[in-house]
Amino acid sequence: MTAYIIRRILWQIPVLLIVGLMTFAIAKITPGGPFDTDPNRRQLSPAVEKILKQKFGMDLPFWHQFTRYMFFDFVENPKTGETEFQWGALGGNFGPTYSSRGSRTVQQELFGDRSGKPSRFYYSARLGLQALLLAVVLGIPMGVLAALHQNTIIDYVLLFGSTFFASLSSLIVGFLLVIIFAVILSWFTVIPDWSDPVQPWILPTIALGSIPLGFITRLTRSSVLEVKRQDYIRTAQAKGLGDQVVIWRHMLKNALLPVVTILGPMAAGLLTGTLYIEIIFQVPGMGSLLVEAIGKRDYSMITAGALIFVFFLGVANLLVDIAYGVIDPRISYK
């Protein structure tokens, strides 16, 4: 098991490297740079641009730029003139953002405090966790309920509802929620007040969580139906065990295994979902910042965003794999 985990962690390194290299390469080979985004805006004077390019190391050869960004480099400190060691993305330093012309670093923008307000990372992480929680806490009981009442009206309603949400996208659900609850019913303001700890979170959490909710409900239902037919359930019932014990101890424990496996891909969906959900509901999180960065062609931010996303995905998948091994003693990792 330990060997397996180590191997999985090691496998993340080439993945991160290749993702970094690809985003980095795309940024370099395409025409236009971060300093000439908008032709209508005042252009930088060639002298200033040269200084900026020097500051970002854009005059270095490609491989040097890449290794400086990803790993580390020895950089000359402009004030003291001494050469200093500087970590790259590997050490958590994603470099200065292009759009701030170097005054702020990517990690400050993403994880830093913003004059008393929580960091952008906090908003995204909280939104994602709330959505996941909503999906798991509601989805599993609903799936069990549907399966135990198979072919009744409860089952049909739950199955139709979960199929509906599972086939949509959180983009569509988000739009529907905004139209219904913010515009038509006016229960929520279109422009959220983030000092309120509950109210502005409700709609984005539902929008983001509804798709995994649909998936989990459907999967739990079919998995409970499968388990229900097994011999050991009949044995448990024949032993005279109560319904509750059979359902919770014998049925659910086995039925939940497939549900655990989709939590990994689900985390991926939640992560990318924050990109547009945060725009729709004006959440000041990482997703909306990344979309902004994309508009400004702020490649240091975009590359950092891709790396961070891949990192979280890897962690989520690893956790799911480990959880799977812990829950199911039949699985052994080599």
Asked if 212 and 260 touch (Cβ cutoff 8 Å), the reply is: no
Distance (Å, whole) CA 250 – CA 241: 10
* Binding test (CB under 8 A) with other proteins, winner from 19, 233, 262, 322: 19
Q: Is 15 in the site for other proteins (CB under 8 A)?
A: yes
Task: Please identify which residue in the block is written with the tokens 């891909």.
Answer: 265
Torsion of CA 151, 155, 156, 160, to 10 degrees: -140
Q: Which residue has the tokens 């050490």?
A: 91
The piece of 48-56, 88-96, 109-117, 287-295 that touches other proteins (CB under 8 A) is 287-295
CA atoms within 13 A on the CB side of 205: 17
Which residue is it, tokens 């950092």?
A: 304
Residue 125 near other proteins by CB under 8 A: no
40 three-state secondary structure: coil
Which of 20, 23, 192, 200 binds other proteins (CB under 8 A)? It is 23
Distance spanning both ends of the chain, measured CA to CA: 7
Residue 314 binds to other proteins (criterion: CB under 8 A): yes
Stretch that binds other proteins, among 67-75, 88-96, 107-115, 179-187 (CB under 8 A): 179-187
User: Of the two residues 172 and 322, which places its CB atom closer to other proteins in the complex?
Assistant: 172
Using the rule CB under 8 A, is 30 a contact of other proteins?
yes
**CB closer to other proteins out of 129 and 315:** 315
Identified binder of other proteins from the candidate list 125, 138, 168, 318, rule CB under 8 A: 168
Applying CB under 8 A, the site for other proteins has a residue count of 46
> Is residue 211 a contact residue for other proteins (CB under 8 A)?
no
Is position 169 an interface residue for other proteins (rule: CB under 8 A)? yes
Q: How far is the CB of 273 from other proteins (least distance, A)?
A: 8
Candidate list 210, 276, 284, 300; residue touching other proteins; CB under 8 A? 276
Q: Shortest distance, CB of residue 82 to other proteins, whole angstroms?
A: 36
DSSP assignment of 165-193 equals HHHS-HHHHHHHHIIIIIIIS-SS-SS--
Specify the stretch interacting with other proteins by CB under 8 A; choose among 71-79, 126-134, 255-263, 303-311.
303-311
Determine, following the binding rule CB under 8 A, whether residue 305 of this chain makes contact with other proteins: yes
Stretch that binds other proteins, among 70-78, 92-100, 239-247, 276-284 (CB under 8 A): 276-284
Token readout for 271 is 């992560």
What span, in angstroms and rounded, lies between the C-alpha atoms of 325 and 256? 13
Minimum distance from residue 52 beta carbon to other proteins (Å):
20
Helix axes 286-296, 252-280, angle to 10 degrees: 50
- The burial class, CB within 10 Å (0-12 / 13-18 / 19+), for 311 is middle
Query: What are the helix (H) ranges across the chain?
Result: 2-29, 46-55, 62-70, 106-111, 120-148, 153-167, 170-177, 199-228, 231-238, 243-245, 252-280, 286-296, 299-327
Decide if residue 271 touches other proteins (CB under 8 A): yes
Q: Which of 44, 291, 318, 323 binds other proteins (CB under 8 A)?
A: 291
Q: Residues 177, 240: contact at Cβ < 8 Å?
A: no
DSSP class of residue 152 equals: S
Question: Shortest gap between Cβ of 86 and other proteins (angstroms)?
Answer: 25
Indicate the residue among 179 and 327 with the shorter CB distance to other proteins: 179
Give residues in contact with other proteins (CB under 8 A): 14-15, 18-19, 22-23, 26-27, 29-32, 163-164, 166-169, 171-172, 175-176, 178-179, 183-184, 190, 268, 271-272, 275-276, 279-280, 290-291, 294-295, 297, 302, 305-306, 309-310, 313-314
